[in-house]
Structure 1
Amino acid sequence: MIIKKVLAASAVVLSVAVAGCGGGSGGGPATAAAIELTETTPAATGDVDSVTWALPSGEPASLDPARTGDYSANTVGTNLCESLLRLNTDYSTSPGLASAVTQKDATTVVITLRDGVTFWDGAALTADDVVYSLKRNMDPKLASYSAHVFANVKTIAKTGPLEVTVTFTAPDMQFVPDLAGVPGAIIEEKYATTAAAGFGTASGGLMCTGPFRLDSWQSGQKITLKRNETYWDTARKAKAASFRFVFLTDSSTLTSALLSGEVDGVYGAPAGSIAALQKTSVGKLYFGPSTETFSLGAVATDGPAADPRIRQALDLAIDKTSFVTSVLKGAGEPLKTFTPPMAWNGSPAKSVYDAGYAALPDTSKADLAKAEQLVADASPSRTDLVIALPAGDQSLLQTATIAQAAAQQIGLKMTIKQLQAAEFAGLFYDPALRKGIDFIATTGYLEVPGALYYAPGFVLKGALFNWTNYEDPEVTENIVTAVSATDPAASARAFVAAQAIFGPAKLQITLAESYNRLFLNKRVTGAPASFSYISSAWAAQVGTA
């Protein structure tokens, strides 16, 4: 599965699927009873000379943190360029390059840096590097994928040798958690300014502080990392002397490479290969908690898809439990809304969020009678719909096919339209490309904690992903309150109040959460099994089993 998050200056982040891992080889579906979730794998017992890892989503376009926002780039880049905070396996955060990030008041955040951290070239990490790294995300010429995170930022300034202060035009509850992801990644200013446009590319290279350094990048073949022998955190020094990433986008080829031992591991193991990977003695398939979701997104400002009754009808016509079995091979669970519970797993207001989620309507089982009635009530001007998906993504093709069959059962006709990856990605940002399309079949994920990661972009007027022009004054008021609150419980209560209204509107017809699928050859262990790998230096933990 590969996704592109092609964000420029926008108000919110969304990770968007543009191609996929597909079916793959190997037997029938695993059953839910055979799946046990775990956040971690057994700790490594020692160092290992080399590890070969597959990138099923292909070669990264860039490893510059400002250009990092998809599976491949994150999987590699977070082991090179560290962030100010660390993302833990349970989606809580802890100190990273910053020893502390303090919300001094509603519009002021103070970042205290660790002393003694050095870049790969031996230069000390300074407050100037942090100011540079953060501020470049605000440069419209760079068009950073993380620009949305800094939408409310007023100033970023050095206020001490190891201190940086960020001020805001308005409070922003989501800013601090975002520092655990690529928005908080730090690079060396001197190197980056010299490399200019080449920074983060195969020719321009990188200069960061992580447990691995970029050794070589052979375009079209592989990326090789080398252990950083002078890494500042000795307890997390990389166990592998060399870590090689290979690009294997074909599911059958990838499965064969895993079963033969040619490749040591992969995140996003093909869902269609679950049975084969569970049976083999070559290694072990792990399932971890995740923030990945499968959804049908309404992308039309008028017509049937813009009518909440049609969206609700389509939602009720799809049996989510059967979807998990047929598409995810049991490795997932139905979801009630587009923000999965893991998003707030580490929040002090977790109980408030949990109660709000529990109170949402459960539509995991199909209700065709109610769905048909909603269509009749809506009396749409047309009953023909178009659903788009990225060509080659077998999981999303299955998803669209299921939606097509469900639509037919309630008196709607749905035509499937497959687009090339770049064209599909453009749908999310160019209204002209969405003409003639009613829905998209897509996946998404949250790369950092926070219930406010998704919602503002879907429900606020004029937001980048508010494709149906949804507007509700009470939702707007509560989301703005949630973003502005400095008390976690107050923010959670406001979010839950908004979710109770926008959730049933099914702006995204969320079908399921997809568990993280990690396969490890029996010779290695230590990688986190949860989806936290997407924003953490996970490869440093992989060593001898």
Structure 2
Amino acid sequence: MKLISTTATALLLGLTLTACTGGRGAGPATAAAIDLVETTPAATGDVDKVTWALPAGEPASLDPARTGDYSANTVGTNLCESLLRLETDYSTSPGLASAVVQKDPVTVVITLRDGVTFWDGSPLTADDVAYSLSRNMDPALASYAAHVYANVASIDATGDLEVTVRFKTPDMQFVPDLAGVPGAIMQKAFTSKAGPSFGTATGGLMCTGPFRLAGWQNGQKITLERNDTYWDATRTAKAKTFDFVFLTDSSTLTSALLAGEVDGVYGAPVGSIAALQRSETGELYFGPSTETFSLGAVAADGPAADPRIRQALDLAIDKSAFVTSVLKGAGEPLKTFTPPLSWQGSPAKAVYDAGYAALPDTSKADLATAQKLVTEAAPSRTDLVIATPAGDQSLLQTATIAQAAAQQIGLTMTVKQLQPAEFAGLFYDPGLRKGIDFIATTGYLEVPGALYYAPGFVLPGAPFNWTNYEDAGVTRDIAGAVSETDPAQSAERFVAAQAVFGPAKLQITLAGSHNRLFLNKRITGAPASFSYISSAWAALVGAP
């Protein structure tokens, strides 16, 4: 899971709160009518070249173990494939693995496809897979996916095309995680030889994906070239080359899209929605997403550590108005920090849906109840500080809305803008959180599963449990959900825990943001769903 700051990379560390840069620009215009679609019309022909923007900037690395933000995922998932594929509805299907079977509660057996080759023509072997997965457990590497392997005891090649993963304790979330970068595979020999430079402009990569890394001009662009010997003939890339350019300024990006200088982008600027919808150059699509905007309580003592203060602040904010003002209509209020898309592909979907429906709906402001909660809490101080990353207008708006809401219920809130690196650091450095009560942040889940996010917030000692929240029943049910291998029973345990920790508002979730995809009319085929974050999406892009 990733909780996101503008420097999402640092954030990914724990559960991958799946960190992601907040809104990319804000403006006065509001979206016209929005229809959510999972994908765009299928491409029917090839194109020579596609130019794609990365609004979050240049990746630090394309090594899957160091892939933890928008830019790195957007590029890297087209190069180094995962054992499972993430579909547009957040279900999974076979990828490099033809099957992943939970043999017993503490054993998962992975069967690899026969005939898969790396870009250099060498075959994919069980040794390559065991090595790729195991390197995430190396403390010296400090993989962003290390948390996924916390319950793993061993990973072994048990056949030419078979890998067996054994666990210290059952882990319900492990198999779905293999659809994201935690399950990405690279060639053992190449990776070992490249060492620390693997995944960089100088070290390169050796993987199996539909594109290969053809060039990397630091500060300018990353170029991918079609892999004409790709193992899946039905998913051979339609674009001969893909150029990823780094455009972090919203105005510059919007102008480039409208002028046709850039063919597409994920995370189109929020403030440019209306202009992009009017464009004759291309089309703006909205898709289902796991991205969220929220206020995170980061203090282990003081007002923010009191659930009544968090509940009061939650009740003081009109979430529908937030969607209109900050997201320009391209989103919807959410009841909790785990968005429903994360479980839509689960066989226990009905259980999760019922649990979500039963949560209190606080989308509309209730100032009277909020004021009563503040009075009841009788905080030792009423002055609060909320931090936000400098330069992120959507998150600044979010903090300002929280500031106004606090004032209405007898609290004062000072907005403190931090440089992106400092803001990212406070997610993991308690010293940097000193003097701060809340943060305005965004997050996303790049793999399916309700259990990818929650444990990092609610379990004692978890990386994002900043308020030292502890509830014996919640701990018991979350642990039970993780160790339960029956999907329905796991979902029931999760729902029971969520019914308790959800109202505690450890994260005051304001809204989910729709995925925003802009495509020039000369191309089509890209998924509109946020599933692009963990899939080889670029292979689908071609001529209409």
Q: How high is the TM-score relative to the length of structure 2?
A: 0.98
Give the SS at the match of 2:413.
strand
CA-to-aligned-CA distance 1:6-44 (integer Å, 9 cap, x gap): 26874x3212345651126xx62124xx00000010000
Q: Does the 8 Å contact 2:24/2:394 carry over to 1? A: yes
- Residue number among 20, 25, 36 corresponding to 1:22 in the alignment: 25
Residue type of the partner of 1:14? Answer: L
Q: Measure, in 2, the Cα distance between the counterparts of 1:2 and 1:121.
A: 36
| Cross-structure match for 2:338 | 339
Shift of 1:415: 0.5
- 2:11–2:19 CA contact under 8 A, matched in 1: no
Equivalent residues in 2 for 1:401-412, closer than 5 Å = 401-412=400-411
Provide the residue aligned with 1:13 in structure 2: 16
- Compared CA separation, residues 526 and 17, structure 1 to 2 (3 A): closer
Bigger mean CA offset, 420-429 vs 305-314: 420-429
Which residue in 2 is equivalent to 1:380?
379
> Which residue in 1 is equivalent to 2:536?
537
**Matched-pair contact (CA < 8 Å) for 1:20–1:392:** no
Please tell me whether residue 80 in structure 1 is matched to residue 83 in structure 2: no
Instruction: Name the CA shift for 1:280/1:336 in 2 (closer, same or farther; >3 Å).
Output: same
SS in 1 for 2:503: coil
Root mean square deviation, CA, Å: 1.1
Asked if the contact 1:19–1:391 (Cα under 8 Å) also holds between the matched residues in 2, the reply is no
> Is 1:207 aligned to residue 245 of structure 2?
no
Secondary structure of 1:115's counterpart equals coil
State the secondary structure of the residue aligned to 2:450.
coil
Q: Which amino acid aligns with 1:403?
A: A
- Structure 1 residue 45: deviation in Å? 1.1
Which residue pairs with 1:426 in the alignment? 425
Q: Give the letter for the 2:17 counterpart.
A: L
The match for 1:399 is: 398
Q: Partners in 2 of 1:116 and 1:537 — Cα distance?
A: 19
Q: What pairs up with 1:135-150 in 2 under 5 angstroms?
A: 135-150=134-149
User: Corresponding residue for 1:220?
Assistant: 219
In the alignment, the residues of structure 1 paired with residue 261 and residue 390 of structure 2 have an alpha-carbon distance, to the nearest angstrom, of 28
Q: Distance in 1 between matches of 2:443 and 2:13?
A: 19
Query: Judging changes above 3 Å, is the alpha-carbon distance between structure 1 residues 81 and 210 closer, same or farther for their aligned structure 2 residues?
Result: same
In structure 2, distance between residues paired with 1:189 and 1:487 = 34
Distance 1:159 1:9, change over 3 A: farther
Quickly say closer, same or farther: Cα 1:100–1:161, change in 2 above 3 A: same
Q: Distance in 2 between matches of 1:214 and 1:272?
A: 33
The structural deviation recorded for 1:3 is 4.8
| Structure 1: 5+ residue stretches without partners | none
Q: Is the 8 A contact 2:288 2:529 kept in 1?
A: yes
**Which one-letter code corresponds to 2:63 in the other structure?**
D
Paired residue secondary structure (1:543): coil
Instruction: Quote the Cα distance in structure 1 between the aligned partners of 2:119 and 2:179.
Output: 21
Q: For residue 494 of structure 1, what is the aligned residue in structure 2?
A: 493
- Describe the SS at the equivalent of 2:451: coil
Q: TM-score, normalised by structure 1?
A: 0.98
Q: What residue is the counterpart of 1:4 in the other structure?
A: 8
In 2, Cα distance between the equivalents of 1:222 and 1:452? 36
Number of aligned residues: 540
**1:378 alignment partner AA:** A
Per-residue deviation, 1:263: 0.3
Matches within 5 A, 1:451-470: 451-470=450-469
Q: 2: CA distance between counterparts of 1:411 and 1:2?
A: 31
**1:2 and 1:58 in contact (8 A); partners too:** no
Amino acid at match of 2:313: L
Code of the aligned partner of 1:22: G
Q: How far, CA to CA, are the matches of 2:114 and 2:292 in structure 1? A: 39
Q: Specify the alignment match of 1:352 in structure 2.
A: 351
Please state how far the C-alpha of 1:421 moved relative to its aligned partner. 1.1
Once residues 433 and 285 of structure 2 are traced to their aligned partners in structure 1, the CA distance between those partners, rounded to angstroms, is 38
- Paired amino acid for 1:67: R
Structure 2 gap ranges (5+): none
CA distance in 1, matches of 2:103, 2:456: 27
